[in-house]
Amino acid sequence: MGKSTSSSQKKPNKRQTNAETAARTLDIQNELGLHARAAAAFVKTAFPFKSKIEVLKGHQRGTAITIRASGPDAAEAVAALAALVEAKFGEE
């Protein structure tokens, strides 16, 4: 997806601004799992937040994902993304 750079060429991540962290593990329950449209909705929801957001996931229905965020609005970011997942990405 992105360009590879050597460690000496990496730009600092502007989204990680302090030590506030939040995390939550959720089950993906929508029929199609975390597919392209659901992933796009996830990215759209995550975009406005300043925190660095990470997702550990699988690809099947019933798969758990962990959403982790660190930064000034980490708790809010995790809450918003968790709400999207719990709403089955608005698909059902």
Classify residue 44: in a domain, yes or no.
Answer: yes
Classify residue 2: in a domain, yes or no.
Answer: no
Give the SS3 label for residue 88: helix
Looking at residue 9, its pLDDT comes to: 44
Domains contained in the chain, number: 1
Classify residue 35: in a domain, yes or no.
Answer: yes
35 as an active site residue: the answer is yes
Classify residue 31: in a domain, yes or no.
Answer: yes
Nearest residue to 16 (alpha-carbon basis) of 69, 49, 52, 45: 52
The model's pTM:
0.70
Neighbouring residues of 42: CB distance < 8 A, sequence distance ≥ 6:
34, 55, 81, 84, 85, 89
Matching residue, tokens 């918003």: 80
Range of the domain at 66: 21-90
Spot the catalytic one: 15, 24, 35, 88.
35
CATH code for the domain in which residue 29 is found: 3.30.1340.10
Per-residue tokens: 39? 């992933």
Tens of pLDDT, residues 20-59: 999 999 988 888 888 899 999 999 999 999 999 999 876 6
Classify residue 16: in a domain, yes or no.
Answer: no
Confidence of residue 3 (pLDDT cuts 50, 70, 90): very low
